[in-house]
Amino acid sequence: MISSSTEVVSLVGATVLGAVVGSFLNVVIHRLPQRDDQKARGPRSACPHCGAPIPAKLNLPLLSWLWLRGRARCCGARISARYPTVEALTAALFWLLASHPPRPWLSPSFADLWSAATFAFVVRAVFVADLVANTFIDLEFRILPDKLTKPLMVIGPLAAALQPGLLEPFPGLDDVAPQARALLTSLFGMATGFGLTWAVRAGARLWLKKEAMGFGDVKLMAGIGAFLGWQGALMTFFLGCLLGAVAGSARLLFVRDPYVAFGPYLAAGAVITLFLHGDLIELLTVTWPRWQAEHVSSPWLIAGFALLAAGAVLILLRRRTT
């Protein structure tokens, strides 16, 4: 419940900032996989169809696309719906970041820009912005660039050490200083994300005799683990596989192309985990054990669900290599 005008200003400011960042992400998504074109066009925004410079008044997030009705003024070519989608998605995510801080005392406020809360918001904003860029680059170009995945493995541990409140502490380290404990939690999360995804990739390669998952997915999961910790890495991977299996199965039914980009589903799993981490932990540690105790058939249901999910993922991996 919003209780003050300061909170309203903070939420509106975060949303507007998200739209602006989304506009910048569109440039990253378009140019990063095409470095040669970027050098040729220069730093200014230009029409992707005719190369004409885009004036500032026609480069406003969301508003310009709506005003121009989805067509470039210079040449009349249709502007991809990806542009407003990225801007709206990033704006919504920034609003969620401002309204759902990792701790109650880490709520960002424009009344106190130089604070731990602002630092926490900026770190998490960098994380979700990176995930958005990776998602749309993987969908459009089928790659996860090192320039987006590797920085996560550096920023995550550094941010955790500087602001321990960003991560749930690793158990059994109560005697360790908070900064060191947060750093170890981040590093262990990075190792968990990397190791788990690498093991699945290696297993799929042995079974299929082909590459079924790119190493970019491994690096992305390592970066996600650095920001979310080991529990977050496990949750993200499970949710990513589940979402990928459902969406990929639907894709195989309606689209002939068997390729399934895993990056977007891992990113979606990471965003869900970021905002629902506490609820997911309670589900796994409290609600789920209670349900198991009340239902004798729960082990069979768990085994059946696990086999079904694993089978769906393996089928998708196999189709991806055909």
- Per domain, the residue ranges of the chain are 1-114, 142-322
pLDDT value for 2: 45
- Which amino acid is it at 265? Y
- What share of the chain in percent tops pLDDT 70? 78
- Calculate the alpha carbon distances from 91 to 24, 108, 202, 223 in Å: 12, 16, 37, 22
The residues that bridge with 148 in the sheet, in sequence order, are none
pLDDT value for 295: 65
pLDDT higher than threshold 50 for residue 93: yes
**241 phi and psi angles, rounded to 5 deg:** -65, -40
pLDDT value for 176: 77
Mean pLDDT of the region 272-299: 73
**Could you give the 3-state DSSP secondary structure of residue 71?**
strand
* Residue range 127-178, pLDDT digits in tens: 999 999 999 999 999 999 999 999 999 999 999 999 888 887 766 667 778 8
Cα 96 from Cα 112, distance rounded (Å): 19
Q: What is the mean pLDDT of the chain?
A: 82
> What is the Rg, in whole angstroms, of the alpha carbon atoms belonging to the chain?
21
Of 242, 272, 262, the residue nearest 319 (C-alpha): 262
pLDDT value for 316: 61
Mean pLDDT of the region 246-250: 78
pLDDT value for 36: 46
The residues that bridge with 78 in the sheet, in sequence order, are 71
Residues 6+ apart with CB under 8 A from 202: none
pLDDT higher than threshold 50 for residue 308: yes
**Could you give the 3-state DSSP secondary structure of residue 53?**
strand
Which pTM value belongs to this model? Answer: 0.86
Contact 185, 244 (CB under 8 A): no
Mean pLDDT of the region 249-266: 79
pLDDT value for 211: 72
- What share of the chain in percent tops pLDDT 90? 39
Mean pLDDT of the region 287-308: 66
